């Protein structure tokens, strides 16, 4: 749908990151579904470690990260599996989003999020489940469809090209799904604002009606 903005966040610090390659395919899926897209590559960003001491005057790269994530209608997150969980660099990016807690609405309020992992083995769903805790803490909504890519070394070439057509389709579909659900959320928000306007108009037009 035109006008929706979907932001991809992830990849590892490895140059030929498979989790970033997976993210790029899903972001393309969102674009094909009509959204405007942006990919925040953790290697390129080079975020400092989260520190409360930096909160008052965060570095420019942190401001870019949090503003871009805040302004999105939906996101796609992708992390490699490191020791049974998300990577430290991915979690660090998520920790910076804590700064959005003072905004109104706070955090990633009502953003729709699609989850991806790339694992050497077959337990990538653990990464996706761990991410979901963070989605909830940030007031987002994870779409039920997820793509934990197993045996990622076989699925992606060093160039980042996907060598498994089924995985490519799944990632593409996840991007489309985030756009589809984000479109429903944005329609609801429009209806909600419309209802508020109607309510205000009624109160103004009805003398003596106590506004609540
Ligand atoms: C520090 C480290 C820990 C890893 N731990 C696991 C693991 O617990 N389970 C697994 O299946 N693969 C593990 N792997 C393999 C990575 O998940 C796999 O190579 C993945 O494709 C890396 O993603 P990337 O190319 O985006 O860096 C580990 C790799 C590294 C470097």
Residue 40, pLDDT > 90, answer yes
Using a 6 Å cutoff on CB, does residue 12 contact ligand 1?
yes
Nearest protein Cα to ligand 1, atom 4: 82
Looking at the domain assignment, is residue 177 inside a domain?
yes
Closest CA to 12 of 116, 111, 106: 116
pLDDT tens, 158-168?
Answer: 899 999 999 99
3-state secondary structure (DSSP) of residue 142: strand
Ligand 1 center from residue 15 Cα (angstroms):
14
Q: Write the residue with the smallest CA distance to atom 28 of ligand 1.
A: 82
* Within-domain flag for 143: yes
Least Cα distance to 9 among 35, 34, 40 occurs for 40
Res 210: pLDDT: 39
Residue 109 lies in a domain: yes
Helix intervals (H) in the chain: 18-32, 42-45, 60-71, 88-96, 125-137, 152-155, 165-205
Which residues lie across from 75 on neighbouring strands? 7, 113
Report the chain's C-alpha Rg in angstroms: 19
Let me know: does 19 contact 117? Beta carbons within 8 Å. yes
* Mean pLDDT, the chain, whole residue set: 92
CB of 17 closer than 6 angstroms to any ligand 1 atom:
yes
* Six-digit token string for 18: 């498979």
Count: domains in the chain: 1
* Ligand 1: centre distance to CA 152 (Å): 9
The mean pLDDT value for 107-113 works out to 98
Average pLDDT over every residue of 93-103: 98
Per-residue model confidence as pLDDT tens digits over 54-96:
999 999 999 999 999 999 999 999 999 999 999 999 999 999 9
User: Residue 108 belongs to a domain with what CATH number?
Assistant: 3.40.50.360
Nearest to 115 by CA among 171, 185, 194: 171
Residue 89 alpha carbon to ligand 1 centre in Å = 13
Nearest to 84 by CA among 45, 119, 52: 119
Residue-range definition of the domain harbouring residue 55: 5-183
In a domain, 206, yes or no: no
pLDDT at 211: 36
19 Cβ closer than 6 Å to some ligand 1 atom: yes
The token pair that represents 11 in the structure block: 């990849």
Give bridge partners of residue 118 from the DSSP assignment: 80, 149
* Residue 119 reports pLDDT greater than 70: yes
CA of 182 to the centre of ligand 1 (A): 30
Task: Report, as an integer, the average pLDDT of 14-43.
Answer: 98
Q: Whose CA is nearest to atom 2 of ligand 1?
A: 82
Please state the atom number of ligand 1 nearest to the C-alpha of residue 14.
27
Closest protein CA for atom 19 of ligand 1: 120
Helix, strand, coil shares of the chain, percent, nearest 5, are 50, 15, 35
Mutation choice for ligand 1 from 89, 119, 148, CB with most ligand atoms inside 8 A: 119
Residue 12 lies in a domain: yes
Q: Is residue 204 part of a domain?
A: no
List, in order, residues 6 or more apart from 141 with CB less than 8 Å away: 110, 111, 112, 113, 135, 181, 185
Do 2 and 34 touch, CB atoms closer than 8 A? yes
In a domain, 14, yes or no: yes
Specify if 200 maps to a domain.
no
């Amino acid at each position: 749908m035109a006008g929706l903005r979907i932001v991809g966040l992830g990849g590892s610090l490895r140059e030929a990151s498979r989790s970033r390659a997976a993210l790029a395919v899903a972001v393309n899926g969102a674009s094909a579904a009509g959204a405007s897209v942006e990919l925040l590559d953790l290697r390129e960003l080079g975020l400092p470690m989260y520190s409360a001491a930096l909160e008052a005057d965060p570095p420019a790269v942190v401001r870019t990260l949090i503003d871009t994530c805040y302004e999105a209608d939906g996101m796609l997150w992708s992390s490699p599996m490191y020791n049974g969980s998300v990577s430290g660099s991915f979690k660090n990016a998520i920790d910076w989003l804590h700064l959005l807690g003072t905004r109104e609405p706070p955090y990633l309020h009502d953003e729709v999020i699609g989850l991806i992992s790339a694992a050497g083995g077959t337990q990538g769903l653990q990464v996706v489940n761990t991410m979901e805790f963070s989605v909830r803490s940030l007031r987002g909504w994870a779409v039920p469809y997820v793509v934990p890519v197993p045996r990622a070394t076989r699925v992606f070439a060093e160039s980042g090209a996907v060598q498994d057509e089924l995985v490519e389709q799944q990632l593409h579909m996840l991007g489309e799904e985030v756009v589809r659900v984000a479109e429903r959320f944005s329609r609801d928000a429009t209806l909600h604002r419309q209802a508020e306007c109607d309510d205000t108009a009624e109160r103004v037009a009805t003398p003596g009606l106590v506004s609540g």
